[in-house]
Amino acid sequence: MATAARKSGDVVLKLENISLAFGGVKALSDISFDVREYEVRAIIGPNGAGKSSLLNVINGVYHPQQGTIMFRGKQRRDMDTHEAAAQGIARTFQNIALFRGMTVLDNIMTGRNLRMNATFIEQAIWVGRARREELENRRKVEEVIDFLEIQHIRKTPVGRLPYGLQKRVELARALAAEPSLLLLDEPMAGMNVEEKQDMCRFVLDVNEQYGTTIVLIEHDMGVVMDISDRVVVLDYGKKIGDGTPDNIRNNQTVIDAYLGVAH
Amino acid sequence: MLYREAGQFKASYATDQQIFPIRQDRIAVAALTALAFVIVPLVADQYWLSAILIPFLIFALAAVGLNILTGYAGQLSLGTAAFMAVGAFGAWNFVLRVPGMPLLVAFALGGICAALVGIVFGLPSLRIKGFYLAVATLAAQFFVVWALTKFNWFSNYSTSGVITTQRMEILGFAFDTPRAKYFLTLTVVVVLALAAKNMVRSSIGRAWMAIRDMDVAAEVIGIPMLRTKLLAFAISSFYAGVAGALYAYCYLGTVEPEGFNLDLSFKILFMIILGGVGSILGSFLGAGFIVLLPIFLNTVARPLENLLGLSLPPGLMSNLELIVFGGLIIFFLIVEPHGLARLWQITKEKLRLWPFPH
């Protein structure tokens, strides 16, 4: 268990009384929780509990009707999706959302687009800043490629890769942005045991080496209990539990709603 | 020489990110450019220059423009001819109304006019996609032709909006022979095609492709939807506008708004479908194919007619052309939706391994 060994810092993200509804469907009602710097925060719950909606609220895809979000001391409720990226929030998706027509390298380079400021005219002539930025960012991207051990596929179009590698490329694309907060939506769904182990290792390495705060949705309880510092449990859009893995494991409401008992 | 990368080791990111990373490609491109600039003007006759090569280059440029919008940014457009018309009439008016206006500046300004019109008609793309967007760009097609015919000011009050281009002169050199016009067209097209290639391999190109492939993910990464899409419309229309100006000045000499009709838009769309959606090379292949096909059919059909002792009715020839066009487009959409450029890429991948494919 890595829990005790790692340091957790101040609260970087604080959600207060978030409610989100789509028409008559209440996806989230009155959710409050916080995320501390450097921690791995897991969100668990049955299907349809509102986990992905919660991530979408955090990075600005959905705008909650009620409640406030504090990120790094700034309060916000509504913002454009692309602004979240500028503030250092990156994410991966439950269903792989890679750019299928592009190579692995181009996908990951796209993750660094925000760091390229050359105008299209400079890029068209390929001089000065445009050229320099391409090379600098390529170097950073290669670091991420090395880190995630995907050197051998960097020139492959992502559509041709197997599922497990696509998931890894998606993580690489998110990491390339050098985010301070990384949202992972079921990074290990559909993987076999070895692939899950690899992915866990990468997630923990990211957390330790880069000091990235991680919010993660996962269904594999073994994984969640092993790698996360604190866990939030959702059910039907409501928060039913919040605490360390040990607390959650012994929380009767959570056991009833989600974990179940061994028979 | 075999098409192989073996032995070409990249020691720096700069060499890996060259515009043509493979040595054979660099040689081929250099050879083609030399051929186009040196050999072709020496051997090609007037007919080849003014009836085949110049229109080929101009259509290729328009196709590059459309490919930026449709192939890279994923926004289907049926208004290419309209943007060409804006470019042609824009450049003509700048030369007419601004004394001492340099020709190339007028072409660029014509392109900028087209870019502005493109931005206006690109605004719906923020809300609508696919076929519905195509219909919105269709509005551009009809509106521009209507406006240019309706408001005589654009054609300096000539009847039915016909304009005849002014004499072309750059730095005292007159471009009045087919050969000179060919040089002018070629230079503009090569420069703009290289610029397009550079754009699609840098961050703006990646932003376009990201929006094409998965727009939600693109936005989450931090790509601003509004700016990126409108920039694609603007640059695409700029290319179409410059192509339109060249179409008027270097190819036809006399144009009217009706000449930039929906047929022309479709023709350019077919070029990128046949040549390759999302490929700069494909724009050239498609343009070459569509310009050369009617000529090829003519040269084949005549001897065939004599050989079989038939006499085809004259109307049949042009219809035959349409039938072959239609057939080919259906064929390509089914068999190879990525066009000639994709076929070329597959050939290259095969050649890399040939003759030992295992």
**For residue B271, pLDDT beyond 90:** yes
A129 touches chain B (CB under 8 A): no
Give the closest-approach CA distance of A110 to chain B in angstroms: 6
Q: Look at residue B136 and tell me if it is in a domain.
A: yes
Shared domain check, A184 and A173:
no
Of all residues in chain B, the one with the smallest CA distance to A104 is B206
Shared domain check, A190 and A174:
no
Shared domain check, A184 and A149:
no
Chain A with chain B: Cβ pairs closer than 8 A: 112
8 Å CB contact of B209 and A99: yes
8 Å CB contact of A82 and B223: yes
Q: What is the CATH number of the domain that holds B334?
A: 1.10.3470
A116 touches chain B (CB under 8 A): yes
Shared domain check, A152 and A48:
no
Give the pLDDT confidence score for residue A5 in this predicted structure. Answer: 45
Q: Look at residue B3 and tell me if it is in a domain.
A: no
Mutate to test the interface with A, among B221, B233, B352 (most CBs of A within 10 A): B221
Q: Look at residue A95 and tell me if it is in a domain.
A: no
Q: Look at residue B70 and tell me if it is in a domain.
A: yes
Closest CB from B206, B225, B235 relative to A110:
B206
Q: Look at residue A230 and tell me if it is in a domain.
A: yes
Model ipTM value: 0.89
In whole angstroms, give the CA distance from residue B26 to residue B18.
Answer: 10
The strand pairing partners of B164, in sequence order, are B254
Shared domain check, A225 and A122:
no
What is residue B154's three-state secondary structure? helix
Give the closest-approach CA distance of A118 to chain B in angstroms: 9
The pLDDT tens digits for A17-32 are: 999 999 888 999 999 9
Q: Which segments in chain A show pLDDT lower than 70?
A: 1-7, 77-78, 262-263
Shared domain check, A203 and A239:
yes
Determine contact, residues A4/A227, Cβ cutoff 8 Å. Answer: no
Give the pLDDT confidence score for residue A77 in this predicted structure. Answer: 65
Of all residues in chain A, the one with the smallest CA distance to B223 is A82
Q: Among residues A178, A207, A225, which one ends one of the domains?
A: A178
Shared domain check, A137 and A83:
no
A127 touches chain B (CB under 8 A): no
A126 touches chain B (CB under 8 A): yes
Shared domain check, A221 and A258:
yes
A82 touches chain B (CB under 8 A): yes
Q: What is the CATH number of the domain that holds A232?
A: 3.40.50.300
- Using alpha carbons, select from A79, A78, A81 the residue that is nearest to residue A67: A78
Q: Look at residue B319 and tell me if it is in a domain.
A: yes
**For residue B20, pLDDT beyond 90:** no
Rounded to the nearest 10°, the torsion over CA B244, B247, B248, B252 is: -160
Q: Look at residue A93 and tell me if it is in a domain.
A: no
Range of the domain at A133: 100-178
Counted domains in chain B: 1
Shared domain check, A187 and A165:
no
Determine the number of helices (DSSP H) and then strands (DSSP E) in chain B: 16, 4
Q: At what angle do helices B178-200 and B225-246 cross, to 10 degrees?
A: 170
For a pLDDT cut of 70, what percent of chain B falls above it? 98
In whole angstroms, give the CA distance from residue B82 to residue B139.
Answer: 10
8 Å CB contact of A85 and B222: yes
A130 touches chain B (CB under 8 A): yes
Range of the domain at B342: 43-353
Give the pLDDT confidence score for residue A2 in this predicted structure. Answer: 45
| Chain center to CA of B155 | 25
- Using alpha carbons, select from B140, B283, B121, B128 the residue that is nearest to residue B200: B283
Chain B residues near residue A118 by CB distance under 8 angstroms: 202-203
Q: Look at residue B278 and tell me if it is in a domain.
A: yes
Q: Look at residue B329 and tell me if it is in a domain.
A: yes
Q: Among residues A157, A178, A199, which one ends one of the domains?
A: A178
The pLDDT tens digits for B30-46 are: 999 999 999 999 898 99
In whole angstroms, give the CA distance from residue B244 to residue B261.
Answer: 12
Counted domains in chain A: 2
Tell me whether residue B236 is exposed, middle or buried, using C-beta atoms within 10 angstroms of its C-beta: 0 to 12, 13 to 18, 19 or more. Answer: buried
8 Å CB contact of A120 and B231: yes
The pLDDT tens digits for A252-262 are: 888 888 888 76
Residues in contact with A108: Cβ distance below 8 Å, sequence separation at least 6, in sequence order: A141, A144, A145, A169, A172, A173, A176
Shared domain check, A164 and A218:
no
Q: Look at residue B59 and tell me if it is in a domain.
A: yes
Give the pLDDT confidence score for residue B246 in this predicted structure. Answer: 97
8 Å CB contact of B218 and A110: yes
The pLDDT tens digits for B310-350 are: 777 777 777 877 888 788 888 888 888 888 888 888 888 88
Cα distances from B59 to residues A65, B193, B296, in angstroms, run 52, 12, 18
pTM: 0.91
Tell me whether residue A259 is exposed, middle or buried, using C-beta atoms within 10 angstroms of its C-beta: 0 to 12, 13 to 18, 19 or more. Answer: middle
Q: Which amino acid is at A257?
A: A
Q: Among residues A178, A205, A231, which one ends one of the domains?
A: A178
Closest CB from B17, B199, B214 relative to A124:
B199
Chain B residues near residue A106 by CB distance under 8 angstroms: 206, 209
In whole angstroms, give the CA distance from residue A212 to residue A232.
Answer: 19
Closest CB from A97, A133, A138 relative to B214:
A97
